[in-house]
Structure formats: structure tokens, C-alpha cells
Chains A and B, each alone.
Chain A
Amino acid sequence: MSHFSYLVILAACVLGTLPLEFVLGVGVYAQWRRLVATLLPVVLVFCAWDAYSIRHGLWSYDRHYLVGVTLPGHLPIEELLFFVVIPLCAVLTYEAVLARRPEWTR
């Protein structure tokens, strides 16, 4: 079960922010094309940064906590998902702030 640790943490982030979409009604998932267009370059750039860092030994991962699926550049799949989930949470949070304070023009 420890192999799912990182995935569980990411899932908690997604689940924890769902109320922003379905209770607060921020409409981020509703704008899924804009969301995909936002995430694609972010995922590409940061996965490249991550792969570079892994290759140069800046950081490393404990396989005990990973599911074991590795992408090119020795990138654990959890890292790709991290760069999807965290930006997603950022957009949801930003839109939630605007939803609560619409007078703070974007």
C-alpha cells in the first residue's frame, strides 16, 4: 500500500478542491478546453525541468512510495501528475478567490 503514497496525496488534493467547482461553482472544469490548453505547456516545461534535475542528481525519489511507472528521463508518473494536479489546484483557488471577491478585478 505504501507504493500508492504519492498518488494518495495527489488524489487528496483533487478531492479536496472539488467543492470549489461543485459547491462554489467556479466553473474551471466546465472550461475544460481552456484548462487543457493551460496545463499542456505547464506540464511539458516543468516535466523537462524535473527530468533535468533528476538527471543531474539534484533530487531523487524513494521507489517504496511510488507505483513504479517511469516516463522518459527517469520521471516517475507521479511527477507528471503533480504538474497536472498542482496547477489545477492553483487555477481552482484563484477562481475561488475571484468568485468570493468579484470586485477584485482580474
Chain B
Amino acid sequence: MSYTVLGVAGVLVAVLVDVAALQTSLVRRRAFWTAYAILLFFQLAINGLLTGIPIVRYDPGAILGWRVVYAPVEDVFFGFALILVTLSWWVWLGARVPRAAGRRHRSGRAG
């Protein structure tokens, strides 16, 4: 299976996890997209290093060939899936067991 197919499938699975499975609906929230925009910027920088040096190489037959800051565009799909799944799970765990999961650090903030 090519990285392109895996990447797109990963995005779809991540969205399903967020919207249907865990029902955290982060993709409908401004906070998520703001965080994702920040993370995407740093992802392109870090991934640019990893793929530009290059520390990681891709089989040309497994990718479309479109690159963004040296990295295959599929890395953007992969990164989106990783970030969305992580954040959805983090948020879900926080809503489920707000106490058992560890003391909340209030630092003077209300709520």
C-alpha cells in the first residue's frame, strides 16, 4: 500500500475517531485549528530538516512526488492524523477522569 493511500486513510480514521468514536469534535473547534496551524508551521520546519538532510528517505514509487519544504505532501496527512488522534484522546481522557488522571495545575486561572 502506498504512503499516499495510508496517509489519506489515516486522516479519515483520525476524523472518525474525533467525530464518531470519541465524539470530541475537535475538527469543529477553533482551538484545535489554531493549535494545528502552529504545529503545522513547526512540522514543516522540523520535517524539512529530517527530509532535507536527509535523515529519512522515501521510495519514489510510494509517494505522489509533491514536496513541501523537502517533505512529501503525505507527511502532512500523517502529521494531521497523529495530531488529531493525540488531541482527541487527550481531551477525551480529560473529560472522562478529570481527577484520576492527575492533578490539574490551576496556576491562578479560573475554571
A-B contact pairs, 19 of them (CB 8 A): A5-B53, A25-B105, A27-B105, A27-B107, A30-B102, A31-B102, A33-B100, A38-B89, A39-B86, A58-B62, A60-B56, A62-B53, A86-B43, A87-B82, A89-B39, A90-B39, A91-B86, A104-B30, A104-B34
A59 touches B83 (CB 8 A): no
A90 touches B87 (CB 8 A): yes
Within 8 A of B (CB), among A52-66: 53, 56-62, 65-66
| A71→B34 CA distance, assembly (Å) | 35
Q: Which residues of B contact A (CB under 8 A)?
A: 1-3, 6, 10, 29-32, 34-35, 38-39, 42-43, 46, 49-50, 53-59, 62-63, 79, 82-83, 85-87, 89-91, 93-94, 97, 100-111
B90 touches A106 (CB 8 A): no
- Contact A33 B87, CB 8 Å, known A57-B59, A102-B109: no
B58 touches A97 (CB 8 A): no
**A26 partner residues in chain B, CB cutoff 8 A:** 105
| A87→B82 CA distance, assembly (Å) | 7
**A41 partner residues in chain B, CB cutoff 8 A:** 89
| A88→B89 CA distance, assembly (Å) | 12
Count the A residues whose beta carbon is within 8 Å of the partner chain — how many?
A: 48
CB distance from A9 to the nearest CB of B (A): 6
**B42 partner residues in chain A, CB cutoff 8 A:** 13, 89
**B85 partner residues in chain A, CB cutoff 8 A:** 42, 45
B111 touches A102 (CB 8 A): yes
B105 touches A34 (CB 8 A): no
Chain A, 77-100, contact with B by CB distance < 8 Å: what is the 0/1 string? 000000100110111011011110
Q: Which listed residue, B38, B97, B102, touches A93 by the CB 8 Å rule?
A: B38
